[in-house]
Amino acid sequence: MTKKILRALAGETQATPPIWMMRQAGRYLPEYRATRAEAGDFLSLCYNSELAAEVTLQPIRRYGFDAAILFADILLLPQALGADLWFVTGEGPRLSTITTQAEFDALKGIDHIHETLNPVYETVRILSRELPEETTLIGFAGAPWTVATYMIAGRGTPDQGPAHALMAENLAVFEQIIDLLTDSTIDYLSAQIEAGAEVVKIFDSWAGSLKGEAFDKYALAPARKITKALKAKYPHVPVIGFPRQAGDNYIGFARATGVDCVAVDDSVSPEWVAKHVQPDGCVQGNLKSSHMVTGGPELVSETRRIVETLKNGPHIFNLGHGITPDADPENVHLMIEAVRAGN
Ligand code: CP3
């Protein structure tokens, strides 16, 4: 196995960790903004396989990252299930809301998702032909809880209040949404793997607002069910879990779910991750994204600190969350040089 990402995911400790970056194809890159303008808007870009493959490749060409992540969005799945989806410039996603049994019943069955998502699988097929042979192709989906927070509220919410409210007021509908998303995510990720994804990542961006038993039921259990189903069909395909801001719930997450790697955000220190998470296997993270805006010696020293602290176990270098549109593309070079400089 020669690909550095796959070696890390198989548990190998490497002198220089492999590196990629969340949201590496994005608005901080002028070439992304140009291709997005050519596509018309963000969703048209997601469903245009040629152009989605092109923006996926842009950061690989510019920086030589060890992994490419499929260009798509976690909200394409609810759209494929029948929710209306649109993006308001400068504000973010909007969806038709699902809070009642009747609204849930009006969604399409799982078998229909591929009608909408076929262009995404075509993007994966193009990428698996065009990527350099050392670059690993990562597919992804949102975790059921995170996707449900958008489906229930109809938009991003700072505290996921509407989803917590539905859990309290109509548990039956809430759990049907989680179950539908869990099962359709298995099918969605399976189709990405069939098309050529070599690794899949489950983004649970809002896992941090689930506490105690709710974390076990709505973050752990769905991740376990998805991972188990994928492993039964594709035992060789590694799974990365990202229960963002899980705090103490990062501990034991890999063992409880079966994921091969836990991605950690920057609210936990690399020292803590080395002590509590890395003993269970590969970890991914966790430079604060704001360093990509501010740069300078602190970017370099923080990058080195993370690499040094996590060097005694399997590690994939990444940010703690996505790179932001105001980041300076030059700072990405600085970060990569700092990761690769040590050895
Ligand atoms: O990482 C990558 O480069 C791959 C592509 C990718 C996108 N979204 C492209 C995107 C991935 C993996 C995602 C995941 C995603 N989408 C998450 C989970 C990860 C996270 O960031 O927490 C979430 C919560 C979403 C939902 C979403 N999509 C929101 C809230 C927004 C608006 C916020 C924003 O940055 O504008 C998006 C839009 C989006 N998804 C953009 C990109 C490149 C920006 C859209 C644009 O070009 O205008």
Residue 27 annotated in active site = yes
Q: Is residue 338 classed as helix, strand or coil in its secondary structure? A: helix
Any ligand 1 atom below 6 A from CB of 24: yes
Question: One of 150, 188, 218, 250 is an active-site residue; which one?
Answer: 150
pLDDT tens digits, the chain, 343 residues: what are they? 789 999 999 999 999 999 999 999 999 999 999 999 999 999 999 999 999 999 999 999 999 999 999 999 999 999 999 999 999 988 999 999 999 999 999 999 999 999 999 999 999 999 999 999 999 999 999 999 999 999 999 999 999 999 999 999 999 999 999 999 999 999 999 999 999 999 999 999 999 999 999 999 999 999 999 999 999 999 999 999 999 999 999 999 999 999 999 999 999 999 999 999 999 999 999 999 999 999 999 999 999 999 999 999 999 999 999 999 999 999 999 999 999 986 5
Question: One of 33, 73, 125, 234 is an active-site residue; which one?
Answer: 73
Residue 23 annotated in active site = yes
Any ligand 1 atom below 6 A from CB of 42: yes
Range of the domain at 189: 4-340
Distant-in-sequence, close-in-space partners of 46: CB < 8 Å, separation ≥ 6: 52, 71, 72, 73, 76, 119, 120
Reference 59, options 323, 284, 298, 301; nearest CA is 323
Which atom of ligand 1 is nearest to 36's Cα? 47
| CATH for 65 | 3.20.20.210
Q: Which helix (H) or strand (E) holds 93?
A: strand 92-95
Tell how far CA 98 is from the center of its chain. 23
DSSP letter for 219, please: I
DSSP letter for 155, please: B
Count of domains observed in the chain? 1
Residue 36 annotated in active site = yes
* pTM for the model: 0.97
